[in-house]
Amino acid sequence: MQELDIKEIWQTQRLSTPELKEGELEAMLRKRSQSIVEKLKTFTRVEHIANIVVSILMIGYFLYKGDYAFSGVLILFMTIIVLYYKRLYNKLHAIQPTSDVREYLIEVHKELRDFVRKYQISLSLLFTIAFGLGLYLGLKDKPIRDKLDDPLFYARIGGVYLASLAACFLIVHLVYSSKLKKIKGMLDEMNSRD
């Protein structure tokens, strides 16, 4: 097959495809986007709303309890998180598939990588806080206090902590690593000059 032939075959291919049925395009436009950016936006939106709801409930609870100092710290902490999510959402919203392919891939890769990092950091923090709090509250119980001299007790706690954290990291890795790898592979392919 000669060079010209490839183009000729391509351009003579008959795309006498059937017309879209009445209302079919409208139905397509009503469907939810399956793009990775759209999914990240949805997760961010859900987490953002959850953060706001939890913040209001927690702050309300501590104000009701009269713990104003803790409420103040909580308001500051939650404001930072809410602003961070707002910024994250705006950044995702700015990614449009109308930019050139390289630019789009770079943006999607960067946001996806940041998203994974955000999960890893927040999971580590949440697990540490949850385990610390669990241990602190558990120590009030005599049966647990009695185990403090047993080195196996610490090994078990450490084991459960690490295993739970590793399981969550693994889930994040399974969901996102292949996507990150695929996009990185395409960018490397574009950058290679062989």
Specify the amino acid at residue 96: Q
Say whether residue 11 binds another protein (CB under 8 A). yes
Say whether residue 4 binds another protein (CB under 8 A). no
| Residues making up the chain, counted from first to last | 194
Helix boundaries (H) for 65-194: 68-94, 101-138, 142-145, 151-191
User: What is each CA distance from 129 to 123, 136, 158, in whole angstroms?
Assistant: 10, 10, 14
**Least spacing, CB of residue 87 vs another protein, in Å:** 22
**Least spacing, CB of residue 141 vs another protein, in Å:** 45
- The nearer residue to another protein, 88 or 95, going by C-beta atoms, is 95
Say whether residue 141 binds another protein (CB under 8 A). no
Contact pick of 44, 108, 116, 119 for another protein (by CB under 8 A): 108
Nearest to 127 by CA among 172, 95, 183, 184: 172
Say whether residue 35 binds another protein (CB under 8 A). yes
Contact pick of 73, 79, 90, 103 for another protein (by CB under 8 A): 103
Residue with tokens 């994040």: 172
Helix (H, G, I), strand (E, B), or coil: what is residue 139? coil
Say whether residue 53 binds another protein (CB under 8 A). no
The residues in 165-184 that bind another protein, with binding defined as CB under 8 A, are 178-179, 182-183
Looking at 66-74, 114-122, 143-151, 185-193, which segment touches another protein (CB under 8 A)? 185-193
Looking at 45-53, 86-94, 99-107, 152-160, which segment touches another protein (CB under 8 A)? 99-107
Long-range contacts of residues 113-118, Cβ cutoff 8 Å, at least 24 apart? 113/180, 114/88, 115/40, 115/43, 115/176, 116/172, 116/176, 116/180, 118/88
Say whether residue 137 binds another protein (CB under 8 A). no
User: What is each CA distance from 100 to 9, 48, 92, 112, 131, in whole angstroms?
Assistant: 27, 30, 17, 18, 46
Residues within the interface to another protein (CB under 8 A)? 1, 3, 6-7, 9-21, 24-26, 28-29, 31, 33-37, 96-105, 108, 178-179, 182-183, 185-186, 189-190, 193
